[in-house]
Structure formats: C-alpha cells, structure tokens
Amino acid sequence: MLLHIEKVLSKDELKWVRSKFSEAEWVDGRATAGQQSAASKHNLQIAPNSPLGRELSTFLLQKLGVNPLFNSAVLPHRVVPPLFNRYDVGMSFGAHVDNALRPIPGAGMRIRTDVSSTLFISEPDEYEGGELVLFGPSEQQEIKLPAGDMIVYPTTALHAVRTVTSGARLASFFWSQSFIRSQDNRTLLFEFDQTIQELTRQRGDKDNEVLRLTNIYHNLLRVWSEL
C-alpha cells in the first residue's frame, strides 16, 4: 500500500525543524546503510546519536504517535527512531532495497522492516531532482511532496532518490514493524478502519452496524496480530 499522509508537521513545526537543521553537524549517510545500498548512497545525515539527532527523532516519534492515519495504515508495533538527511547538488541514492532487519539503537534489539516512511522537509520548488522513485513490476512512481507531508510504502519495494540538480532536499526517513506482517492484511484492515470511521461520522458511535463492524475489525486484528 502506498499512502500519502498530508500535514504531518505544521508550518510552525517545519520552521522549528529547519532551524535545527541549520545547526546540525552533517555526516556521511553511508554510516546507516546496508552493505548493498552503501555502494549507491551519496547523501548527508544528522548523526543519529548526536543530541540534535535524538531531539529531532523524539519529536517526530511523538508526532507519529498521535497521527491517526499513520497508525491506522501502519499499525506500528515498533518504529526505528527517525533519521534526517540532506541531498545537495550532485547527490543521489541509486536503486536499492532496505535491510529486512534493522537494529533499534540502544535497545539491544532488531525489528523486521515492514513499512518505510519518508517525510519531506523541503518544499518541492526549493530543489530540482531528488524525487523518491518506487519501482513496481510494470511501472515506476516518482514522488515529491509538499514540506510536512509523508509517503508510506512497503519496505519490500525497490526504490531510489534521483540526483539533486539544484538546491537541497531535506527529509526524514524511518522504518516500522507492523503488528500485521502481511501487507495484504494491513491494507484490508486500513480500508476497513477508514470505512468504520466514515460510518461513525455519519451515524454516531452507538449505531448498531457501526458497533458490529467495529467488533469484526478488532476480531480480525486479534487473529492477525503478532506480538
């Protein structure tokens, strides 16, 4: 499932994040890449273990925790603390697949990467190139969203970032392990949940059909969840 989530960050929040970016110490982005992807990765990142990296990561995790669309679509069990990157002119990330398992720094554990997310921090007119490209079996999609918007997609997808030809592309990216391993089942539950929410707005949460569908949703979640 490919999902565009609008306005994860407000204009004021974006302004604050970008002010922090201006203070950042940028390091080689290959430090957090796997063996295969490191060869094609050319960008900069805020050092994940730096005080600023941890501050920004904690802030974004708090925002994700209260974002209803993200939680409905991803059903996150665990989330790798978000990373923050910058692509200057000439930088890119060639076609690659993300690691199936990733560590959670400081937690002594790894997660299965089910869902990838990219939050755009630069406005589209601030840079040329830099599109996130997702390669499908019969087509490819190029994604470049407004600042504050986020794209969520299966980590199984082969993907790339086009070469930036002017300006700078600023973004955050991270991975989630879902309670629901199956992508198909996650999509069904998301569509089911969105339907229930719309019916609730129309009929109220005491409506018998709304209650019945809510019961079915939670029973499916109970059957498919992995803890």
> Does 110 show up as a binding residue in the annotation?
no
> Does 201 show up as a binding residue in the annotation?
no
> Does 96 show up as a binding residue in the annotation?
yes
Strands 127-128 and 150-154: unpaired
Strands (E), the chain: 3-5, 26-28, 41-42, 44-46, 76-79, 83-87, 92-96, 101-104, 109-112, 115-120, 127-128, 132-135, 140-143, 150-154, 158-161, 166-167, 169-178
Please state, in angstroms and rounded to a whole number, the distance separating the CA atoms of residues 75 and 81: 16
> Does 30 show up as a binding residue in the annotation?
no
Please state, in angstroms and rounded to a whole number, the distance separating the CA atoms of residues 70 and 68: 6
Q: How many angstroms separate the most distant Cα atoms in the chain?
A: 58
Q: Are 69 and 115 in contact (CB under 8 A)?
A: no
Give binding residues for 2-oxoglutarate as ranges: 169
Give binding residues for Fe cation as ranges: 96, 98, 159
Give binding residues as ranges: 96, 98, 159, 169
